[in-house]
């Protein structure tokens, strides 16, 4: 048997031309240059990537520092104390109604104790874009730690937490959030949003040097911060004094809400929050403020419900030579039940026990004399009159 031998395979060798192309010294230099260029490109890409990461890190650090700065000013720890936070109840500001106490103060000057000049309990219902503003006269008689005081003394007795507790007890509510602004802060805030628009009813013109330097005429007015503050502080020239001042304060708040929610460019909200942080102290976070503004955008601020607590002051409301405002307690309890249910408070707009439906829009349609005399007409009054009934705000 013959054995067949496998043919011997020729090993593949590069041709002389190919070998010259691969192994020539000239080509070795060219490949070295290409390798060097590849390494250079990799270093450049790594450099760009590191630069981008560095910029992002700087941006994150800067944003964190900005946010920390905002929060430290908004949540001033000398006012938003742990004691206050223990009293406030949790709420989801964009998904459920909550109560917020709004305080206007005269600011600390020369070591004097700060006093609360404006006290407004607000119920805010973002899902339904509805707000109710209830003013509390600063001279309202309350019991604090077993003693008899005017409610605005609560702040000097124990800061914001004592004020929140006093309003909780008076109105039988649980307040979730707190905000305070000084007179100077209010001026700056209104200037920061470009001023506010208010229709001043005839008879509510202001010329009161004690309230401020601005004279305010009747009719449609665009007010800067100084004018708005003067309008919200004036009381001496009006028939029902402090009650007119409280109505004007609610009108200013309504106009401010309208400016922020309906007239400002939404892209300016973040910069507005930064401005607010210099003027307002609140337990709300910057993100909560932005979310709440966005949730409430487009609401009709003329339909904000308005009232003050049922109350009165006369010769019988003096205690130890000091004049107090006394509360109609049963009427207040009934009014607050309606407020708590998200209904029209139907509370008074001046001194008195009962009231009728009234909104911020109604406040611009009646003078202080109309409210004080019980002759004010409101949107609900007009509806009743069309049905053959007569109704007034008192």
Residues 6+ apart with CB under 8 A from 176: 88, 89, 90, 91, 93, 98, 99, 100
Contact 391, 383 (CB under 8 A): no
pLDDT band at 326 (very low <50, low <70, confident <90, very high): very high
Q: What is the pLDDT of residue 159?
A: 92
Is residue 280 within 8 A of residue 74, CB to CB? The reply is yes
pLDDT of residue 394: 40
| Cα(247)–Cα(206) distance, integer angstroms | 14
User: Is the confidence at residue 11, as pLDDT, over 60?
Assistant: no
Residue 360 has pLDDT above 90, yes or no: yes
Give the three-state DSSP class for 206. Answer: strand
3-state secondary structure of 248: helix
pLDDT the model gives residue 60: 42
The arrangement of secondary structure in 79-381, i.e. its CATH architecture, is 3-Layer(aba) Sandwich (3.40)
Q: What is the pLDDT of residue 253?
A: 96
- Cα dihedral 261→263→266→272 (10° resolution): -80
Side-chain-side CA neighbours of residue 72 (13 Å): 6
Task: Give residue 104's pLDDT.
Answer: 92
Q: What is the pLDDT of residues 234-251, one digit of tens each?
A: 999 999 999 999 999 999
Across the chain, where does the E strand assignment appear?
A: 98-105, 116-125, 130-135, 141-144, 147-150, 175-182, 196-200, 219-223, 280-282, 305-308, 311-312, 318-319, 322-323, 326-327
More confident residue, 384 or 329: 329
pLDDT value at position 196? 96
- What residue ranges do the domains of the chain occupy? 42-74, 79-381
Question: pLDDT by residue (tens digit) across 48-67?
Answer: 555 555 444 443 444 444 44
Say if residue 172's pLDDT is above 60: yes
């Amino acid at each position: 048997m013959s054995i067949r031998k496998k043919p011997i395979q020729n090993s593949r060798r590069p041709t002389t031309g190919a070998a010259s192309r691969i192994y020539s010294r000239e080509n070795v230099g060219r490949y070295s240059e290409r390798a060097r260029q590849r390494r250079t490109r990799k270093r450049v890409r790594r450099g760009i990537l590191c630069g981008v990461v560095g910029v992002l890190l700087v941006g994150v650090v800067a944003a964190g520092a900005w946010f920390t700065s905002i929060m430290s000013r908004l949540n001033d720890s000398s006012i938003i104390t742990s004691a206050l936070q223990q009293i406030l109840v949790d709420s989801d500001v964009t998904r459920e109604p909550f109560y917020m106490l709004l305080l206007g103060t005269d600011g600390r000057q020369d070591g004097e104790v700060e006093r609360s000049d404006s006290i407004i309990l607000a119920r805010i219902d973002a899902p339904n874009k509805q707000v109710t503003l209830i003013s509390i006269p600063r001279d309202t008689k309350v019991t604090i730690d077993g003693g008899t005081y005017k409610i605005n003394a609560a702040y000097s007795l124990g800061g914001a937490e004592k004020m929140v507790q006093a309003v909780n007890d008076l109105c039988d509510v649980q307040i979730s959030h707190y905000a305070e602004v000084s007179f100077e802060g209010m001026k700056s805030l209104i200037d920061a949003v470009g001023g506010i628009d208010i229709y001043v009813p005839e008879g509510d013109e202001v010329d009161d040097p004690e309230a401020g330097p601005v004279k305010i005429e009747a009719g449609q007015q665009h007010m800067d911060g100084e004018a708005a503050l003067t309008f919200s502080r004036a009381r001496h020239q009006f028939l029902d004094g402090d009650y007119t001042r409280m109505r004007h304060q609610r009108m200013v708040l309504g106009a401010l809400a309208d400016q922020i929610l309906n007239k400002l460019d939404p892209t300016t909200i973040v910069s507005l929050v930064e401005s607010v942080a210099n003027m307002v102290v609140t337990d709300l976070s910057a993100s909560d403020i932005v979310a709440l503004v966005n949730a409430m955008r487009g609401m009709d601020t003329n339909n904000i419900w308005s009232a003050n607590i049922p109350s009165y002051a006369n010769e019988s409301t003096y205690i130890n030579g000091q004049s107090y405002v006394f509360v109609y307690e049963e009427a207040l309890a009934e009014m607050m039940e309606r407020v708590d249910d998200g209904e029209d408070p139907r509370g008074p707009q001046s001194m008195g026990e009962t009231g009728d439906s009234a909104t911020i829009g109604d406040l611009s349609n009646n003078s202080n004399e109309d409210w004080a005399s019980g002759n004010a007409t409101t949107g609900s009054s007009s509806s009743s009159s069309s049905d053959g009934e007569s109704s007034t705000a008192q």
